[in-house]
Amino acid sequence: MAQEDISFTDLIASSIHDMKNSLNVQISELEKISDQCKKVGDLQAYEDLGGVIYQANRMNSNLIQLLSLYKLDKAIYPVDIAECSVAELIEDVLLQNRSIMDFKNITVTTDCPDDCRGYIDRDLVAGVLLNALNNAYQYTRDQIRVAARVKDGWLELRVEDNGQGYPPFMLRDESAAMSKGVSFLTGSTGLGFYFSSQVAHMHKNGDRRGLLIIENGGTLGGGCFVVRLP
């Protein structure tokens, strides 16, 4: 390959892909060891591994988000907007997080009608929900609520917790979230918020585009991660 054909971003993306694959193998092995510790009654090792597995899953989620953003930027991501059962999507996402939620004794409730449907890219929105759950897992005391509804032509997805809520500098109202210049790159790396806002924005219907809203309150009184899609 000629030197001028080598793209730095392509090399970074390739490296991220390799790291993601390696991390998946490590997570799988850690989960096996964790299960063995639980079976033999070594609860301290089980708890210690639970925290490590959670952080590894967060890293894996971040790597996937980076790859998705890279593909979206390169216009090579196979965006697939199709009708989707939102209740089934939420169930699948929660299934991926069930073990880690159980580890921290977090109660997760859902509020979504069985007939709730939306036209979305299922994989990307699943990534948004996973990111929201990771945030809620980190800050909740012991409860998380995942809700969805269709109102006035918008599909609204909410992930709420009963923690202390988001700090004031992270809160954005609807008009700010819709603004092209807005970035959520404050607090931790900000990657998850940026990824979620980009996924929301790519969902459009006529002159309406999706948006991400960060607020406090909701049913549980803590942080609320809200995505509205037309």
Which tens digit of pLDDT belongs to each residue from 177-211? 334 344 434 345 577 888 898 899 999 998 999 99
pLDDT band at 172 (very low <50, low <70, confident <90, very high): low
Q: Report the percent of the chain where pLDDT is more than 70.
A: 90
| Residue 7 pLDDT greater than 60, yes or no | yes
> Beta strand pairing status for 107-111 and 117-121?
unpaired
pLDDT band at 112 (very low <50, low <70, confident <90, very high): very high
Encoded amino acid at 174, one letter: E
| Residue 126 pLDDT greater than 90, yes or no | yes
pLDDT band at 6 (very low <50, low <70, confident <90, very high): low
| Residue 52 pLDDT greater than 90, yes or no | no
- Alpha-carbon distance 35 to 187, whole Å? 33
What residue has token string 């929660």?
A: 94
The alpha carbon of residue 193 and the mean position of all alpha carbons in its chain are separated, in whole angstroms, by: 9
Q: What is the pLDDT of residue 13?
A: 81
Q: What is the pLDDT of residue 94?
A: 93
SS (H, E, C) 163-179: CCCCCHHHCECHHHHHC
> pLDDT tens, 136-166?
988 899 999 999 999 899 999 999 999 999 8
Q: What is the pLDDT of residue 78?
A: 81
Can you say whether residue 11 is alpha, beta or left, with left for phi > 0 and alpha for psi between -120 and 50 degrees?
A: alpha
The alpha carbon of residue 12 and the mean position of all alpha carbons in its chain are separated, in whole angstroms, by: 22
> For 46-186, where are the E strands, in sequence order?
81-85, 107-111, 117-121, 143-151, 154-161
Whole-Å CA distances, 8 to 13, 73, 76, 125, 184: 9, 14, 17, 28, 25
| pLDDT greater at residue 121 or residue 73 | 121
> pLDDT tens, 59-82?
888 888 888 888 888 777 888 899
Task: Give the chain's mean pLDDT.
Answer: 85
| Residue 222 pLDDT greater than 90, yes or no | yes
